[in-house]
Amino acid sequence: MLVWLWTFSVAWAVVCAQGMPLVDVFGDALTLTPTNFSLTSNGAWLVEFFSPYCPHCRNFAPTWRKVTESVEALRHDKDAPYTLARVNCYEWMDLCSEQNVEFFPDAKQYFDGHLDKTDVLRLTGQDAEKIKQFVEEQQKIYHAKKLGFSSSTAVVPNAPASMPSDAQASSTITQNASHVVSSKARTLERLQNLTEFGTAPIETIDQLDAYLGPDVGQGPSFVKFYSPSCPHCNAMAAAYAESAEVIAGQVNPIAVNCLKYMDICTKYGIEGWPTMRLYQNGSKTEYPMHTKRTKELFLAFLREQGVLHLIENVNAASLDQALTRQKYSVLYFMPGSESERIMIENVRMSVSSPMAFFASDDPAVAQRLLGGGPGLFVLQGGVSNLVASLPLSVVAGQSKETAVPAIAQWLNLQAQPPVVELSASGLDSALLQAPGIVMAVLSSSTEDLNDQLKQFTEFSHAWRSSSDLSHKPFLFAWLDYDRYPQLLLSHYRIHVSSTPTLLVLEGHSSILYQPPTKGTWLETSELLLWLNGVSQGHEHGQKFGTVLTRTWTSVRVTSTPLVTSHPLLMILVFLSLLLLIPRMRRMLLRWVPRSHASTKMV
């Protein structure tokens, strides 16, 4: 028995010894971690990814250390440093996962933070001389890139007979060096969209420092320091992205992933996520920590700091260029009182569609607008393409709380497609989300389809562009009856006898409205009056669908906002219901009469 116990102990010790990492084998090679991996954004790097529990890694460790020592001088090259480093994937599994490491040992090459080569050890093998030769050749390529040479010039082992003279080479290097210096001295351009650190034009720490430092043309920057695993960061991500669409061009929207670039966030003194900061000419102002993080409040903060003008002033000369920045632009013509301008700025903050806002009191602009009076003009690509106009007299006397959301809703409507085609699943979603659907049931096999769609589009435009802000923002859509002949009848109990047919569906209340059948299917003027009656609740409709589908729709409509706004509460309710099921079952069993419970089948 003792012999067997001794044998087992020795075997177990051998197994444990084989599994233990031999730390001294790996030496003191430069180690990268999530806190300093951004060092690879400066210079050329060959990074080995290993695990101390990997036998192949332990066998390769002396070779890697030998190569590291033999090319140490390249690390200190002032023009093109080349560094060898390692990442312990046992300790930093997330970092290795980010770098798509699938096996050990693995080696990847980075040029200024960009992944340049993968599977390097498959190219060189685990031979020290071949790895050293690879490093020396790649350092020459990197050096040539830094000075503006083509990479092929740097790696040819034997110089050709046509090699330029020393004087020519010196002249070329001087020209390229001066080009590098001049490119650094250039003024920075303002960002036109949300930019993540690590992507152009902010790929290195130096570039980030430049954007957040003294103003050399880049202007102020509004920076979000965040972590993808932070719930608060995820909750405000959409609000920040929407704000970025508004501020880009005036304020640089920049996002820094602190999980990926922990050392950078440490350098900037970030202690929690999310942290929002405004950097202006080298100074910083922090967004109040306990203030809600919404698009409106972000924009209000930047406006209070004097770095954001929500409405840009233009004249006739600058108008055309300004209107090309976004697909849709809003021109606030002949601004009125200061309170009116503040109201339009609040509208600007409330609009969810990407729109550029401009203001002008230039009389020459009025001529280009064909004599248009004061108000808001929605333009698509240029002055000649007027989408809709809204005289601000329609909100005269209304409070800001009433006028601002009404105008914002009207503007959002102008940026939406005039008509969309519905599928079976699309109709179900639209009934839940849209306040109402104006639906044309058409046949794709008829020769008149294009004419009917054109008429329907004009009808949609007439409704949406109206200055009557009481109009419901209906979704205008058409359904191909040839493709879905039974959809309306089988799912919603709506009978369509012929095409084209016009229907209005209100999904929340499951009410169907059908216009008068006299005349052609689209008498625009009469139908607009009828649709206005539907919008105001003056027309009478009928229920559609079965009792079961209407009940299910009602549950989905009422539960969706609760799930969105209180997800944890809804999870608790669901779990409570699951826990109640056994208790309810026991209660039901108690109610069953004993005589029934004791009855036996014979």
Per-residue pLDDT tens for 319-368?
998 998 889 999 999 888 888 999 999 999 999 888 999 999 998 888 88
The answer to whether position 14 is within a domain reads: no
Which of 502, 517, 543 represents a domain boundary (last residue)? 543
Asked if 37 and 45 count as a contact pair (C-beta separation under 8 A), the reply is: no
pLDDT at 592: 62
State the average pLDDT over residues 448-457.
Answer: 94
**Are 211 and 249 contained in the same domain?**
yes
State the average pLDDT over residues 58-69.
Answer: 90
Alpha carbon distance, N-terminus to C-terminus of the chain: 63
**Are 435 and 535 contained in the same domain?**
yes
Say which range, 2-6, 103-107, 119-123, 313-317, has the weakest mean pLDDT. 2-6
Q: How many domains does the chain have?
A: 4
The answer to whether position 585 is within a domain reads: no
Identify the band that residue 176 occupies on the pLDDT scale cut at 50, 70 and 90: very low
The answer to whether position 197 is within a domain reads: yes
* Rounded Cα distance, 250 and 318, in Å: 17
Say which range, 38-42, 369-373, 461-465, 479-483, has the weakest mean pLDDT. 369-373
Per-residue pLDDT tens for 215-235?
999 999 999 999 988 889 999
**Phi-psi bin for 54: left (phi > 0), alpha (psi -120 to 50), beta?**
beta
- Whole-model pTM: value is 0.61
pLDDT at 90: 86
**Are 210 and 225 contained in the same domain?**
yes
Six-digit token pair at 592?
Answer: 């069953």
pLDDT at 253: 97
Asked if 247 and 308 count as a contact pair (C-beta separation under 8 A), the reply is: yes
The answer to whether position 247 is within a domain reads: yes
pLDDT at 475: 95
**Are 436 and 404 contained in the same domain?**
no
Residue 158 has pLDDT above 50, yes or no: no
Report which listed range, 72-81, 138-147, 245-254, is most confident: 245-254
Helix ranges (DSSP H) in 268-399: 295-304, 316-322, 338-350, 363-368
**Are 361 and 381 contained in the same domain?**
yes
**Are 472 and 512 contained in the same domain?**
yes
Q: 389 in helix, strand or coil?
A: strand
Whats the size of the chain, residue-wise? Answer: 602
The answer to whether position 532 is within a domain reads: yes
pLDDT at 77: 86
CA-closest candidate to residue 541, choices 572, 507, 568: 507
- Cβ burial, residue 109 (10 Å; 0-12/13-18/19+): buried
Q: 148 or 343: whose pLDDT is higher?
A: 343
CA-closest candidate to residue 100, choices 84, 115, 80: 115
Q: For the chain, what percent of residues have pLDDT higher than 70?
A: 82
**Are 141 and 40 contained in the same domain?**
yes
**Are 282 and 266 contained in the same domain?**
yes
**Are 240 and 199 contained in the same domain?**
yes
Say which range, 35-39, 228-232, 318-322, 404-408, has the weakest mean pLDDT. 35-39
Report the 3 state secondary structure along 41-65: HCCEEEEEEECCCCHHHHHHHHHHH
Q: What is the residue range of 441's domain?
A: 420-543
Per-residue pLDDT tens for 502-540?
999 998 889 999 998 665 677 778 889 999 999 999 999
The answer to whether position 377 is within a domain reads: yes
Residue 376 has pLDDT above 90, yes or no: yes
Q: What is the DSSP string of 172-234?
A: HHHHHHHHHHHHHHSPPPPPSS-EETTBTTB-SHHHHHHHHSS-SSS--EEEEEE-TT-HHHH
Asked if 13 and 51 count as a contact pair (C-beta separation under 8 A), the reply is: no
pLDDT at 243: 94
**Are 265 and 294 contained in the same domain?**
yes
- Cβ burial, residue 558 (10 Å; 0-12/13-18/19+): exposed
Strand partners, 420: 477
